[in-house]
Amino acid sequence: MLRSALRSSTRCGLPLKAVAVSSRQLGLTAARSIQTSVRPSVLRSTVRKSPSPFVATKFDVFVRGNAQIVKVPDMAESITEGTLTSFSKSVGDYVDADETIATIETDKIDVEVNAPIAGVITEFLAAPEDTVEVGQDLLKIEPGEKPEGAAAAAPKKEEAAPVKEEPKEAAAPKAAAPPKPAAPAPTPKKEAPKKEAPKESTPAPSTGSFSRHEERIKMNRMRMRIAERLKEAQNTAASLTTFNEVDMSSLLEMRKLYKDEFLKKTGIKFGFMGAFSKASALAMKDIPAVNGSIENGDTMVFRDYMDISIAVATPKGLVTPVVRNAESLTVLGIEEAIASLGAKARDNKLTLEDMAGGTFTISNGGVFGSLYGTPILNVPQTAVLGLHGVKERPVTVNGKVESRPMMYLALTYDHRMLDGREAVTFLKTVKELIEDPRKMLLM
């Protein structure tokens, strides 16, 4: 064996120092020297020719060492850890390159972990519900091509199933013949009603009892983050809310006239959010502090752009994707951006870039039937506009009482940045633009 190893190492151009030449070192020394000196391709060929089980075992360990460790990917500058929600594959499953193999929940979004290579999962290095950090080992993948045997095994099992069922069906009629002389058949019939009687009587006593069950579920990371932000807003800002009401007759009429036409041409639905977003952007030209913020407690920041955060309810909690540069978009352009972000939010496809920033928030509780409410600030923003349901109410128009579709508006603002006069003026301007949308063309 030693001579054959020497010959193979000489053919490969390896130094003789890499192999033990002493006849006393036929065991461990020879195996170790060959393992550390010979290339993997030579090792595999040596394993096939070598009769020594010890050397083959050492080479198997070397080959298994090719498994690649998948680590927790970078998620964002502000996110360093998350909760491992689940693995989409099991140990022994084959995965393609870039296929999703795990999901990590953070306080903002869910991050999908994709396979860097194609191969077979050999080991999980973390368990679901574990807190994992960026760069932590997650699982091992043995690189390789998709095994053909696994795909071929499935049809064989499917073919075998009907073959086994046929003899069972054939045996059934044979067994059906002897029950003719059997007389004990009536006995189960008598037992059946006896069993049904107690089942009907059992619910009777339970009708007078009351359930007092309690269930405790740990908050997910997104819900915990929302709770932190809400308390931060209450503890930091000097919040105040001002109200107004708007007659929606003109906007509803315009929507009724053009919604079908624009839906057919552009595929965009004409809703309320686009009009209110555009009206808010125009009103901010006169009251720029509404779009500002406070930094470090002593610096006021004013912006010439408006990034609107749109509050969207999802199963995991409230998220606020951002419409960039709303002041430069048309009403339909804003509607298109909102529809796209809303679809991504419902499908859990929002990215950190979709929710980063935001200078002003609009929350439409009217879609859920809200009549009146006070929205809470989305820090570090200065103001949030709350929309509510449209209800027919009697109002006075030119000295006459008429029924009009009315909506309550609420503006919650940070009094440190915005004075009452400015807040009321801003909300009044939004009201006037909605009641007569033609004014938007003149501003």
Other CB atoms within 10 A of residue 40 CB? 12
User: For 215, what's the count of Cα atoms within 13 Å in the CB-facing half-sphere?
Assistant: 3
Q: Indicate the domain borders of the chain.
A: 2-64, 68-143, 221-442
Q: Is the pLDDT of residue 166 over 50?
A: no
CATH superfamily label, 221-442: Chloramphenicol acetyltransferase-like domain (3.30.559.10)
Q: What is the pTM of this model?
A: 0.62
Q: What is the pLDDT of residue 150?
A: 52
Of 194 and 102, the one with more pLDDT: 102
Residue 344 has pLDDT above 90, yes or no: no
360-364 and 308-310 as β-strands: parallel, antiparallel, unpaired? parallel
Residue 415 catalytic?
A: yes
pLDDT at site 149? 58
What single-letter amino acid sits at 295?
A: E
Checking if the pLDDT of 136 tops 70, the result is yes
To the query of whether residue 286 is one of the catalytic residues in this protein, the response is no
Query: Where are any strands of DSSP class E within 234-387?
Result: 239-247, 293-295, 299-301, 308-310, 312-314, 317-319, 322-323, 360-364, 383-387
- Looking at the predicted structure, is the pLDDT value of residue 292 above 80? yes
* CATH code of the region 68-143: 2.40.50.100
Could you say which of 96, 260, 415, 436 is catalytic? 415
| Secondary structure class of 48 (helix, strand, coil) | helix
Q: Rounded CA gap, 276 and 304, in Å?
A: 19
pLDDT confidence band for 297 (50 / 70 / 90): confident
